[in-house]
Structure 1
Amino acid sequence: MDNQKETTNEVSEATVTTSVNSGQEEVLEATIDTSTTPNQPSLDPETIRAYEEKIRAEQNLPMAIVAGLVAALVSSAVWALVTIKAESQIGWMAVGVGFLVGYAVRYMGKGIDNTFGVIGAVFALLGCVLGNIFSVYGFVTVEFDVTFMESLSAIPLGEVINVLIDDLSPYDFLFYGIALYEGFKFSFRQITQEEVIQNSQG
Structure 2
Amino acid sequence: MSQSAPPPQPQSGPAGGNPYADQAAAPAPAAPYPPQPGAFAAPAAPVRDNLVLGLAAALVAAVAAAALYGVVIGSTKHEIGWAAVGVGFVTGLAAGKAGGRNPVLPVAGAVLALGSVYAGQLVGEAMIIADYVHAGFSEVFFDHLDLVQEAWKKDADPMTFLFFAIAAYAAFTGARKAAA
TM-score w.r.t. length of structure 1:
0.63
Does residue 185 of the first structure (1) align with residue 165 of the second (2)? no
Larger radius of gyration: 2
Q: Which amino acid aligns with 1:130?
A: A
Tell me how far 1:42 sits from its aligned partner: 8.7
Q: Which amino acid aligns with 1:62?
A: V
Q: What is residue 17 of structure 1 aligned with on the other side? A: none
Q: What is residue 115 of structure 1 aligned with on the other side? A: 104
Tell me how far 1:160 sits from its aligned partner: 2.4
Between stretches 160-169 and 86-95, larger displacement belongs to 160-169
Q: What is residue 66 of structure 2 aligned with on the other side? A: 76
Structure 1: tracts of 5 or more residues without a match: 1-37, 44-50, 192-202
* Alignment equivalent of 2:151, drawn from 163, 170, 174: 163
Q: What is residue 49 of structure 2 aligned with on the other side? A: 59
Q: Deviation per CA, 1:45-78, whole angstroms, max 9, x where unpaired?
A: xxxxxx69x51xx311111111111111111111
SS in 2 for 1:92: helix
Task: Write the distance in 2 (CA, Å) between the matches of 1:142 and 1:128.
Answer: 21
Q: What is residue 98 of structure 1 aligned with on the other side? A: 88
Tell me how far 1:104 sits from its aligned partner: 0.9
Task: Write the distance in 2 (CA, Å) between the matches of 1:60 and 1:101.
Answer: 16
Q: Deviation per CA, 1:91-130, whole angstroms, max 9, x where unpaired?
A: 3211111111111111211x21320111110111111000
Tell me how far 1:41 sits from its aligned partner: 4.3
Task: Write the distance in 1 (CA, Å) between the matches of 2:107 and 2:64.
Answer: 19
Q: Deviation per CA, 1:150-202, whole angstroms, max 9, x where unpaired?
A: 112431x33322332333222122221111111111113444xxxxxxxxxxx
Q: What is residue 161 of structure 2 aligned with on the other side? A: 173
Q: What is residue 37 of structure 2 aligned with on the other side? A: 39
SS in 2 for 1:39: coil
- Which structure: greater strand fraction? 1
Distance 1:158 1:42, change over 3 A: farther
Q: What is residue 132 of structure 2 aligned with on the other side? A: 143
* Alignment equivalent of 2:120, drawn from 131, 135, 142: 131
Distance 1:190 1:154, change over 3 A: closer
Q: Which amino acid aligns with 2:69?
A: W
TM-score w.r.t. length of structure 2:
0.69
Distance 1:142 1:41, change over 3 A: farther
Task: Write the distance in 2 (CA, Å) between the matches of 1:169 and 1:42.
Answer: 57
Structure 2: tracts of 5 or more residues without a match: 1-35
Q: Which amino acid aligns with 1:78?
A: L
Q: What is residue 9 of structure 1 aligned with on the other side? A: none
Task: Write the distance in 1 (CA, Å) between the matches of 2:55 and 2:87.
Answer: 15
SS in 1 for 2:81: coil
Tell me how far 1:133 sits from its aligned partner: 0.6
